[in-house]
A and B are shown apart, each in its own frame.
Chain A
């Protein structure tokens, strides 16, 4: 996730255009070093063991290293070794930016150092892999002014981003949340999280982006924004929200329930409560996620 927020920083400071960032993200995608790849490279794990850990990760919001240790595939020392090897993998994005001529090496170094200074990124313990680290980064980039339980929303966003990496891919850039009262859309899905707290969750986008997102999630090739695409979008939201609810139950003993996902076309979400739009730019285009601490009215 360090890479995703570095992309956000470069765009927000007009150091790179969105088009350039997407080209660089596509280029680094093929060379990104995953912990599993490093584990194979080091002879610590077999492909079957890697697959078993990945399969567990689709249901449990746990780190690769933690699952591998619990299954007896890796020792703690091996995980530490792999994380050290992995922690500079985000530099591959920088490499792609420089290789494509979007920035000189000197400029890249300068902006990277400014980014680290702005985000106080060096103070974060990289050996923590991703979970706590990601929540820290989200807190530095995002502001959820007005939410009664803002920590819960930071946790929600961290879980959402991890699930985007898990189910869709890592080539995306999250943008700062925008406070909203009304969100017009052509095609959207929503689901409410009810119980000890109330959270409205939703997502909308243009047809092409929804089709690509749904195809990546389902492992299918869709060509129209039909019921299959809307169903896959709903199922992604449902799975991600389910993992968030389980985390909240484990961490804070909060009990939640999910409403069945709803599908809408050519309408607006209207809020009387605090609501935010979280734009996420993928290499195939933008998907907007919506979060609110109260119910929505549709018009």
Chain B
């Protein structure tokens, strides 16, 4: 599978977090990337870009990652959305699982963790 055929969407209110994740994705061969900086932008961008996979922060202004996750899943029940947050609480985990998150990662995201997650989600297609 050619990784350039796969589009990845990053949604995070932090410029630094978006930049680091995009750099890591690019270094492992994923250069087809689109970015959103809050939940509202993420929903709009998902509908126009139809990415193969989404990395979604939880704590964001305007609309949280969990709310955006729910709305995207309503639009596309097959959406693969990986929640990434600096805080993993029972409440977040429960809401994310109920809303249909594919995976839940703790920030900061290392290159190794991103690679492993992408392999599972896209290459193996689990």
Contacts and interface: CB of A to CB of B under 8 A. Distances in A.
Interface of A: 52, 55, 58-59, 195, 218, 220, 227-228, 231-232, 234-235, 238-239, 241-243, 245-246, 249, 255-260
Mostly, the A contact residues are helix
Interface in B18-43: none
A228 B16 contact: yes
A228 B15 contact: yes
21 contacts: A55-B110, A59-B110, A218-B16, A220-B16, A228-B16, A231-B14, A234-B14, A238-B86, A241-B87, A242-B86, A242-B106, A242-B107, A246-B88, A249-B89, A255-B91, A256-B89, A257-B87, A257-B91, A258-B59, A260-B59, A260-B60
A168 B88 CA distance: 23
Given A52-B112, A228-B15, 9 more contacts: A59-B106, A59-B108, A231-B16, A235-B14, A238-B59, A239-B86, A242-B107, A258-B86, A260-B13
Contacts of A256: 87, 89
B89 A257 contact: yes
Contacts, number: 64
B17 interface: yes
A172 B47 CA distance: 48
B90 interface: yes
A241 to B, nearest CB: 7
A239 B108 contact: yes
Interface string B79-102: 000000111111110000000000
Nearest to A54: B110
A210 to B, nearest CB: 14
Given A235-B14, A238-B14, A243 B86 contact: yes
B58 to A, nearest CB: 9
Contacts of B13: 260
Given A218-B16, A260-B13, A58 B60 contact: no
B64 to A, nearest CB: 9
Nearest to A229: B16
A231 B16 CA distance: 7
A274 B17 CA distance: 33
A299 B77 CA distance: 46
Nearest to A228: B15
Contacts of B106: 59, 242, 246
B107 A59 contact: yes
Contacts of B87: 241-242, 245-246, 256-258
